[in-house]
Amino acid sequence: MNPKEIIEKLKLTFNELVNTNQPLAFIKAILMDGTEVEVTEMAVGGIVTIMGVPAPIGEHQLQDGSVIVVGDNGAITEIKAAQVEEVAPVMEDMSAKFSAFESATNEKFSSYEVKFSAYELKFADYENKLNKANQVIEALLNVTATLAETPTGVPDVSIKTNTQFKEEKKVSYDILFS
């Protein structure tokens, strides 16, 4: 493979790494005033936009009663769950509380499993990108070595490479002292 082919291959690989145009999936939500917003992820770090523009800084209450706190550039800094007033039963039923706790725990675990599987996919994607970057770096090193080893021109035969220097011979006196 000549250097030009290597450089073209590097350009293609580098463009693949840089131009991963994966569209973001937005979650549609409606504020209490009826304004429709798009959210990249309903979690801290998600981005809130209104008609493609980052949402203003502050608290925004959704129709379900939950509140999202938005910081700079529309980034979610906090999510406050909706506060629902519950009427306490006259007599507590521990089995009902236990089953409610158990179902809530199961829901949490299932949501954590979904999040962890999403993280695993992201990590796998990052590993693929890292492997491609390592291939690009290795190819760049190969190109550099090829360019460094390739002569830049034909040697001029009119220039003598012999020197007038004489090699100095060292006399060893080791035999005398053994």
**Token pair for 71:** 């910081």
pLDDT, tens digit (0-9, with 9 covering 90-100), for 93-136 = 788 888 899 999 999 999 999 999 999 999 999 999 999 999 99
pLDDT value at residue 65 = 86
Cα gap 170→97, rounded to integer Å: 98
pLDDT value at residue 146 = 87
pLDDT value at residue 19 = 60
Asked if 79 and 42 count as a contact pair (C-beta separation under 8 A), the reply is yes
pLDDT bin (cut points 50, 70, 90) of residue 165 is: low
Strands 53-54 and 48-50: antiparallel
Q: Which of 54, 61, 19 is nearest to 46 (CA)?
A: 54
pLDDT value at residue 109 = 93
- pLDDT of 16 above 70: no
pLDDT, tens digit (0-9, with 9 covering 90-100), for 29-87 = 888 898 899 988 888 888 899 888 888 999 998 888 889 999 888 889 998 887 766 66
pLDDT value at residue 125 = 93
What residue type is 117 in one-letter code? S
- The predicted model gives 154-159 an average pLDDT of 74
